[in-house]
Amino acid sequence: MKRTIQWFCNPPVTNQSSILILRLMAGGVFFWEGILKFVYINQGLGRFTKLGFPMPELTANFVATTEIIGGLFLLFGLFTRITAFYFIVEMIIAILSTKISLYLGNSPLPLPPAPPKIGIWAVLHEIRSDYAQSLTCLFLLIEGAGKKSLDALLQKQK
């Protein structure tokens, strides 16, 4: 257990500076998606209610807040591994809670506006953002934030 905590708390910080590009992409998307959950009820409370989440208002506000804060963490390269791990778990939950019912054709959410509307092709089309975010976070989990990050700055100070 101690090794796992050490691994999460001491990410590599000597990797390429270009990792910043991936952090900007993933962090930016999580940041603005978190804001959208507060601004548009259909993206936050409404969505979590339709999906049948327990305590949908609390859940929606928690997810939105963690996306805003976590998005900023990724943008600045702070607590990168911990944040990336959290977002991978979040994306797995998002995929399981929305894409299985889309595949089966009984989604409580509006179906896609254009064909394919249900089935595997609809899922593969609708999952593209979740897939990209998940793999980007997996990369950041493994490789860390890179040289241009607050993680690197904090490690230099140690």
pLDDT digits (tens, 9 = 90+) for 94-109: 999 999 999 999 999 9
DSSP single-letter state for residue 105 = T
- Structure confidence at residue 46 (pLDDT): 94
Structural contact between residues 11 and 77, judged by C-beta atoms closer than 8 angstroms = no
pLDDT digits (tens, 9 = 90+) for 22-39: 999 999 999 999 999 999
Least confident range from 27-31, 71-75, 94-98, 113-117: namely 113-117
Q: Does the pLDDT of residue 71 top 80, yes or no?
A: yes
What whole-number percentage of the chain has pLDDT above 90? 79
Closest Cα to residue 66, out of 27, 105, 20, 103?
27
Per-position b or e across 13-29, b if 16+ CB within 10 A of its CB: bebeeebbebbeebbeb
Q: What mean pLDDT comes out for the span 68-80?
A: 97
Region for 116 from its dihedrals, namely left if φ exceeds 0, alpha if ψ lies in -120 to 50, beta otherwise: beta
* Res 13: pLDDT: 81
Amino acid 1: pLDDT: 86
pLDDT-derived band at 111 (thresholds 50, 70, 90) equals: confident
For the segment 77-100, the average pLDDT, to the nearest whole number, is 96
Of 69, 91, 95, 98, nearest in space to 141 by CA: 91
Q: Where are the domains of the chain?
A: 13-157
